[in-house]
Homo-oligomer: A and B are copies of this chain.
Amino acid sequence: MSPATPAASAATADAAADRRAASPARRRVLETASALFYAEGVHAVGIDRIIAEAKVAKATFYHHFPAKDALVDAYVAEQFRFQREIAEAFLAEPGDGDPRAALVRIFTYMTEAGADPAFRGCPFVNVAAEYPDPEHPVRRTIAEHRAWFLDLMRRLLAAADDPAPDRTAGILLLLRDGLTVRCYLDDASNLRPVVEDTLERVLGAAPES
């Protein structure tokens, strides 16, 4: 073992992990798996199919992921990262920084994304449907995403002077979840007015300049 200090050793390990995470083979596997898991479900997609479509060898796969569950976890974490990036983009957008407008933009985006025919609902909800154990790492990652989203709502609402940011944030989470389910299971078109109406009723009438 290296005589380095724990910190250094951790840094070394991190660097190795980064190098592995950046491996093109690993990226291909994760991207292929993400697309398949989202489109068809986790249990329905086998390892063999993933490695075949990602064009990597089985050994390579197991070099990067100790087991299928780890891949599922990576898939969920990737989705989390992806959502966060989008949200941050929406926050940084129009210059001024009107938090209420940011909220509306986020939900408008979700409504539009849900209208995509390939939309299959919320990846977190779908994965959770296949992982009943709340202590499972995958479920913990999902819980992290939910906590993050709830906190994001809370911060935006506080900045928008909502009288009860905690409670309203909870309502917006309900809206988010309901919206993804609805876009997946029902006709996703013509949902914008419903969402706008809901936001108005929940946030109160728009502040008239």
Chain A residues at the B interface, C-beta cutoff of 8 Å: 39-41, 43-44, 120-122, 124-130, 132, 142-143, 146, 150, 167, 170-171, 173-179, 181-182, 184-186, 191, 193-194, 197-198, 201-202
Contacts and interface: CB of A to CB of B under 8 A. Distances in A.
Q: Classify the interface of chain A: helix, strand, loop or mixed.
A: helix
A209 B143 CA distance: 42
A24 to B, nearest CB: 18
A130 B128 contact: no
Oligomer: number of copies? 4
12 contacts: A41-B130, A43-B43, A121-B128, A121-B129, A128-B184, A171-B201, A173-B182, A173-B186, A177-B178, A178-B179, A201-B201, A202-B202
B197 A125 contact: no
B174 A125 contact: no
